[in-house]
Amino acid sequence: MIALDLTEKRFGPTQVLGALRLEVARGEVLGIEGPSGTGKSTLLRILAGVDTRFEGKMQAPSRRAMVFQEPVLMPWRRVIDNLTIPTGASEDEAEHWLCRVGLSGYGAHWPGQLSLGQARRVGLARAFASRPELLILDEPFVSLDAERVDDLLELTARLISETQPAVVLASHAVRELDRLATRRAVLAGRPARLTAL
Amino acid sequence: MIALARKRHIPSGGRSALPAHAIATPDWRAVGRTIVSILAALFLWAGLAFVLDDPAHAPGPQQVLPELFEGLASGKMLPDLGATLWRVGLSFALAMGIGAALGILLGLSRRADAWFDPWLTIWNNIPALVLIVLCYLWIGLNETAAVMAVALNKVPLVAVMLREGVRARDPALSEMARVFGMGFVARHRHILIPQLMPHILAAARAGLALIWKVVLVVEFLGRSNGIGFRIHLNFQMFDIAGVLAWASAFVLVMLAIEWLVLAPLTAHAARWRRE
């Protein structure tokens, strides 16, 4: 379970996020939509624990994982190491998660040898390999073709259903929100505020 | 430089049992090209010496190389080569250590960089000779002063190169490391250092080339052994072939370090780009 009671978030003199409350229980998927530049990524960075400079309180589990807009893999480490090093998972566990995302046998590849779709699957496998209690998805399927997005949506939905983390998903794509979100909210305005749908 | 190329089949499953460097094989075409290039330079040198026809002022390889081989084969050159190599190694290690630490600090902290960038600019522009003379005057004509003088000449160059490397790192990877809770050691070992590796190797290359030249000046001015000292003696006797033979001996050593240490290290660090 994650609970955020934000008073405000500023970048210098600019207030980006206004007062907002957000709670997500385990097994729940909160889908956040909103126009570009409203502060969705800023909100996700706060939830992920990357940005701690905000006014407010947050209760979040220690085991957090994130799937980024770009795969964000270490290009100088082999695929399997991209799972084991950040998450602390064993090689067997990493192989298991690679297998779950359809990349069985890709452990010895370098990330640069993968297609964008495969790299995104590695990012997904890395997130689940850390056995997260809170999973943050920041437009995880952007710039993929429709067929690949459908495959990845099905896969992600299945893995979430099996592992039951609290999930916060930010996306512009209605299809992704429809398929994954159990609850939806809109982030809009200046400073941005969250409105439940 | 001998380029190392590797073709590797990635297995359909599991991890490779072989470390990458274990299956590195030389690119023989590149080796051949290097040898031909060096031979061409020797022929050009010999041609110029033949045209000038003045062995005392413009000795050709036929005067210099026998002196070089005789000095190496008889072991006459080895103590001085060893002394110079020791000074190069010690100052190189010092300069890389201090320069890298300083560069990383300045790259990570904008405040520190704002304060110390002017210092670095001034330091970088102090002529090598001034630092050498000052070290000899302050510390004395001894080994410590010699090594310090060389290291001090190289530190700002390493610091600037490493600072730029730290600035150019990918912030998304640092964010990923924080989200997944990677520890201090893991973040440095797997995220920061690999991103700095090209800059570290470039600084090592540039540094080694600079250091051995400065070491020679240091030895020329204030030591009683080493290649620089021998060049000083040959200078006093106006023995140009001798100067070239002693300099060539150390060029050979530096080329060996480049080919046997730096080139394989570079190839190993960049293996993920080639496969």
Interface of A with B in 137-196 (CB under 8 A): none
Contact B149, B138 (CB under 8 A): no
B9 part of a folded domain: no
Q: How far is B170 from chain A (nearest CA, A)?
A: 9
SS3 state at B176:
helix
| pLDDT tens digits along A141-185 | 887 788 888 888 999 999 999 999 999 999 888 888 999 999 999
- The count of domains in chain B is 1
B145 part of a folded domain: yes
Instruction: Report whether pLDDT(A87) > 70.
Output: yes
B98 part of a folded domain: yes
Instruction: Report whether pLDDT(B274) > 90.
Output: no
Taking CA–CA distances from B187, the nearest residue in chain A reads A86
Residues in B whose CB is inside 8 Å of some CB of A read 10-16, 172-173, 175-182, 186, 190-191, 194, 197, 272-273, 275
Q: How far is A50 from chain B (nearest CA, A)?
A: 6
Per-domain boundaries in chain A? 1-61+135-142+166-197, 64-131
B116 part of a folded domain: yes
Taking CB atoms and an 8 Å limit, are B272 and A75 in contact across chains?
yes
B27 part of a folded domain: no
Report which of residues B263 and B134 the model is more confident about.
B134
Residues of chain A positioned with their CB less than 8 A from the CB of B176: 66, 68, 72, 86
Q: What is the pLDDT of residue B28?
A: 85
For B61, B106, B215, B218, the CA distances from B240, given in Å and listed in that order, are 12, 45, 20, 20
SS3 for A56-124 is EEEECCCCEEEECCCCCCCCCCCHHHHHHHHHCCCHHHHHHHHHHCCCCCCCCCCHHHCCHHHHHHHHH
Torsion of CA B128, B130, B136, B142, to 10 degrees: 0
The token pair at B229 is: 């000292």
Round to whole Å and give the CA distance between B215 and A79: 45
Residue from the list A70, A104, A108 with its beta carbon closest to the beta carbon of B11 = A108
pTM (predicted TM-score)? 0.77
Q: What is the pLDDT of residue A43?
A: 93
CA neighbor of A64 nearest in space, from A186, A168, A184: A168
Q: Which fold would CATH assign to domain A1-61+135-142+166-197? A: Rossmann fold (3.40.50)
B86 part of a folded domain: yes
Q: What is the DSSP string of B2-23?
A: --EE---PPPSSS--SS-GGGG
| pLDDT tens digits along A114-135 | 998 899 999 999 999 999 999 9
Least confident of B15-19, B42-46, B94-98, B123-127: B15-19
Report residue B15's pLDDT band, with 50, 70 and 90 as the boundaries. very low
**What CATH number has the domain bearing residue B97?**
1.10.3720.10
Full domain range(s) for residue B144: 36-43+61-270
B5 part of a folded domain: no
| pLDDT tens digits along A22-76 | 999 999 999 999 888 888 999 999 999 999 999 999 998 989 999 998 999 999 9
Instruction: Report whether pLDDT(B5) > 50.
Output: no
* DSSP classification of residue B169: S
Q: How far is A123 from chain B (nearest CA, A)?
A: 10
Q: What is the pLDDT of residue B169?
A: 92
Round to whole Å and give the CA distance between A54 and A8: 6
* DSSP classification of residue A132: -
B6 part of a folded domain: no
Arithmetic mean of pLDDT, A82-95: 96
Round to whole Å and give the CA distance between B113 and A22: 39
